Amino acid sequence: MAAVNPYISFAGTCEEAFDHYKSVFGGDFASQMRWGDNPDCGQMSDEDKNQIMHVALPVGSTVIMGSDNPASMGGVERGTGFSVAIGSSDLEESQKIFDGLSEGGTVTMPLQKTFWGATFGMCTDKFGIPWMINCDESGQQMGG
């Protein structure tokens, strides 16, 4: 069964925000990657490469996730950057969810294999809600 988690986008303050959330909720980051870890970020400035590409902080039975959305990628307006993240280990389930959510909406990134080993896609549904679907067939959820 798919897991649902909040995903928050920031304009360069993701690391500061998640360090704060960690101090509030406790625990350790399940994962943290910088844009510079992405082999396809060659055109980014060094400042953008140092920003957070993905971070996950377990809080109870949920995982709060986030990233910086550098200006070179369109940026984000403060307080409006969010998505609902779906994590699954079943590719067929992930494809069905992605197809259903993107129907009548806009595909931002087609569901495809990624450098981190999962199948990932993004869309905005016909109601304007942004979604991220991550399928790791090894069984690891998106927060890990």
Length of the chain in residues, anyone?
144
What confidence tens digit (pLDDT) does each residue in 25-84 have?
A: 889 999 999 999 988 877 888 888 999 999 999 988 889 999 998 877 777 776 677 888
Domain total in the chain: 1
Q: Is residue 84 part of a domain?
A: yes
pTM of the entire predicted model: 0.70
The whole-number pLDDT of residue 138 equals 76
Q: Is residue 115 part of a domain?
A: yes
Q: Is residue 15 part of a domain?
A: yes
- Mean pLDDT over 110-132 rounds to 91
Owning domain of residue 56: 3-135
What CATH number corresponds to the domain at position 111? 3.10.180.10
3-state secondary structure the chain: CCEEEEEEEECCCHHHHHHHHHHHHCCCCCEEEEHHHCCCCCCCCHHHHCCEEEEEEEECCEEEEEEECCHHHCCCCCCCCEEEEEEECCHHHHHHHHHHHHCCCEEEEEEEECCCCCEEEEEECCCCCEEEEEECCCCCCCCC
From residue 79, how far is each of 11, 26, 66 by CA, in Å?
10, 23, 13
Q: Is residue 54 part of a domain?
A: yes
The whole-number pLDDT of residue 55 equals 97
Task: Return the percentage of the chain with pLDDT > 90, whole number.
Answer: 50
